[in-house]
Amino acid sequence: MSKIHVMSDNLANKIAAGEVVERIASVVKELVENSIDAGSSEINISLINSGLNSISIQDNGCGMSHEDALLAFKSHATSKINKEDDLFFINTLGFRGEALPSIASVSEIDLVTSEGDAGTHITIKGGKLVKEEDFHAKKGTRITVSNLFYNTPARLKFLKSEQTEVSHCVSFIEKLALSYPSIRFTLENNSNILVKTSGSGDLKKTIHEIYGLQISSKLIEIKASNDDYDIYGYICKPEILKSNRNYMITIVNGRVVKNLELNKAINDAYYTYKPDIKYPVVFLNILTDPTLIDVNIHPTKQDIKMSKLTDLYSLINNTIKDALYNNLLIPDATLRVSSNFKVDNKTLNDILNENNIKEDNDNKIELTDDHAINGQATFDFGKIEDNQEKYNDNVVINTQIKNLVLYPVGQVHGTYIIAQNDDGMYLIDQHAAQERVNYERIQKIFKEKKITTVESLIPITIELSKSDAIILKQHLEYLKSMGFLFEEFGINTFVVKEEPTWLTKGYEEETIREVVDQILIKGNNFDPLKYNDHICKTIACKMSIKANTRMTMEAMEELLQQLVLCDNPYNCCHGRPSIIKFSIYDLERMFKRVMN
């Protein structure tokens, strides 16, 4: 007797359901996507007990004939593709022909559909047809799924709480509404409306309907294209940040996708505008030729492969960077109250020592207590730049912030500068502000000035394991470009003959060993550019005025003049805010001088 046999269609569908139908939101996803593919302009989703008892989707799409309604529940039956070449030109959300038979195999389904004349009513239980009849109905489809997983108790047991299941449904419908702003979506659970959009076709209005005023009032529109991709959408100002990546919503050809490279392009564009542990709010539509993407990877079709990803990364990253650079990003204090992120009390400037830095006649960065503002070091750039205007010759964008004039009027707790102008009052974190000024200046030095070195008075010996020695050898040229001259000194041992002059005096060996450790930790993934940036941040932080330090009015005025000329005056180099605004209207409303 043969050991190999062909599974029944019902068994095959139950196996497929294990991939296609993971949870209640999976059923909602597949059925709503079918409604979209049917050309619907209005889709209503109704859940009972978060979908555990019943899931009902009503649309006004094209509907199905009696024959198609029966055929739709057969395995691999689809209206989306006809031949093999169609897989390379997919313009619909569904195409596999697996969803309906998979859902039907593990639930009870009641379907009413019509193309505008005669309708069809079908009832299916556990994949078997129970009822089939003609039925009077208006154009469109209503499909109700009840008793999900009734015949697969193991899968039913793994469903989460009602709150968890409904939250996944809400999250999906919200993102789908952003993909199709011209469709009216309504999602309700036990007759309570959870999501409702107008179908206006306006993406910004849809964002407002879903996420509210706090986000929609802080949006910046972006639009760009290259030879292969068109991108369009909205990014949120950095004052609105989230603790996870769920608000970086990327939509490719109308399909909500999860792609690590796209998320990285977005997150990298916000570099230094936010702390590393926070993520931006972005709604990004990407349009491209279907032949450049492959959605046939996973049954959920949310993970896709994309061609020319490097070009797309650059397009997204540069577009967002330009949008942030060209817009005034000073946060309004009255709208920041509920969106503030918590900052650990132990900030970097508490950890680093309080050595100070200056530059000598040979452009060598050294530590000293000279050239200090109220006991705190500043960078003397007189020997590098003849004046501040020369430093900013190429800064011609965003004149709104560059022309901002702030007049200091005092200081709070030796930490925050109070300033004013005709528009209102400003609070400036003096450490964050000076750290930003110093960071951008040091970056300029590293880019334009040749790093000078000095011979080590006492050569530092570095002993490594064999594997670490091999890794370090691969990066000797990079170390040399930073000013470190490493020479082999016996087996798996190196000696440092020269070191850069920007090293902190007294901390030369500690810094060198830290550089080596970072290279060894990262291995082949070590990024010289990112480490150079880390060095710039560290120096900028060490040389900036600390909290609880008094400043003269002249020093405050000079700092504010330098801050507004920065490329990014809104944050320190670690992403903390540097300046917050109280408009005159805000102040008058807080003191009840105005009552609206």
Q: Mean pLDDT across the stretch 324-345?
A: 61
Class (C level, CATH) for 212-327: alpha beta
Helix 528-542 with 508-522: angle, nearest 10 deg? 150
Q: Mean pLDDT across the stretch 337-359?
A: 36
Say whether 487 sits in a helix, a strand or coil. Answer: strand
Tell me which of 3.30.930.10, 3.40.50.720, 3.30.1370.100, 3.60.10.10 is the CATH number of domain 451-542: 3.30.1370.100
What confidence category does residue 258 fall into, taking pLDDT thresholds of 50, 70 and 90? confident
pLDDT at 353 over 70: no
pLDDT at 174 over 90: yes
Question: What kind and span of H or E run contains 55?
Answer: strand 54-59
Q: So what's the pLDDT on residue 545?
A: 87
Question: Does domain 9-196 bear CATH number 3.90.600.10?
Answer: no
What confidence category does residue 340 fall into, taking pLDDT thresholds of 50, 70 and 90? very low
pLDDT at 376 over 50: no
What is the bridge-based pairing of β-strands 282-288 and 229-236? antiparallel
Among the listed residues 245, 274, 19, 42, the one whose alpha carbon sits nearest the alpha carbon of residue 141? 42
pLDDT at 380 over 50: no
What tens digit of pLDDT does each residue of 90-142 get?
566 755 557 788 888 888 999 999 988 888 999 998 888 888 888 888 899 99
Cα–Cα distance, 179 to 256 (Å, whole number): 7
DSSP 183: S
Among the listed residues 226, 309, 313, 305, the one whose alpha carbon sits nearest the alpha carbon of residue 265? 313
pTM attached to this predicted model: 0.70
Question: What kind and span of H or E run contains 249?
Answer: strand 248-252
Tell me the domain boundaries of the chain: 9-196, 212-327, 348-447+548-590, 451-542
| Most confident among 233-237, 257-261, 450-454 (mean pLDDT) | 233-237
- At 53, list the tokens: 């008892």
Could you tell me which residue, 77 or 230, shows the higher pLDDT?
230
Cα–Cα distance, 570 to 563 (Å, whole number): 9
What tens digit of pLDDT does each residue of 403-413 get?
788 999 999 99
Lowest-pLDDT range, 245-249, 485-489, 516-520? Answer: 516-520
User: What's the chain's Rg over C-alpha atoms?
Assistant: 31
Q: So what's the pLDDT on residue 318?
A: 94
- At 557, list the tokens: 């005025």
What tens digit of pLDDT does each residue of 179-189 get?
999 999 999 99
What is the dihedral angle through the alpha carbons of 45, 50, 54, 58, rounded to the nearest 10 degrees?
A: 0
What tens digit of pLDDT does each residue of 300-309 get?
556 677 888 8
Q: So what's the pLDDT on residue 192?
A: 93
Q: So what's the pLDDT on residue 386?
A: 35
Q: Which CA distances in Å does 515 have to 349, 438, 446, 476, 526?
A: 20, 22, 17, 12, 11
For the chain, what percent of residues have pLDDT higher than 70? 78
Q: So what's the pLDDT on residue 96?
A: 54
Average pLDDT value for the chain: 79
Q: Mean pLDDT across the stretch 316-341?
A: 75
What tens digit of pLDDT does each residue of 187-224 get?
999 999 999 999 999 999 999 999 998 899 899 999 99
Could you tell me which residue, 523 or 465, shows the higher pLDDT?
465
DSSP 332: B
What tens digit of pLDDT does each residue of 18-62 get?
455 778 888 899 899 889 988 999 999 999 998 889 999 999 998
Give me the CATH code for the 348-447+548-590 domain, please.
3.30.1540.20
What confidence category does residue 2 fall into, taking pLDDT thresholds of 50, 70 and 90? low
How much of the chain is in helix, strand and coil states, percent to nearest 5? Answer: 35, 25, 35
CB 518 within 8 A of CB 468: no
pLDDT at 382 over 50: no
Q: Mean pLDDT across the stretch 5-13?
A: 61
What confidence category does residue 544 fall into, taking pLDDT thresholds of 50, 70 and 90? confident
Could you tell me which residue, 570 or 532, shows the higher pLDDT?
570
What is the dihedral angle through the alpha carbons of 427, 429, 430, 432, rounded to the nearest 10 degrees?
A: -140
Q: So what's the pLDDT on residue 86?
A: 47
- At 171, list the tokens: 């999250």
pLDDT at 530 over 80: no
CA angle 43, 47, 53 (to 5 degrees): 140
Q: Mean pLDDT across the stretch 481-508?
A: 83
Q: So what's the pLDDT on residue 482?
A: 78
* Cα distance from N-terminal residue to C-terminal residue, the chain: 86
Lowest-pLDDT range, 163-172, 288-297, 344-353, 509-518? Answer: 344-353
- At 16, list the tokens: 């497929």
Q: So what's the pLDDT on residue 299?
A: 52
pLDDT at 276 over 50: yes
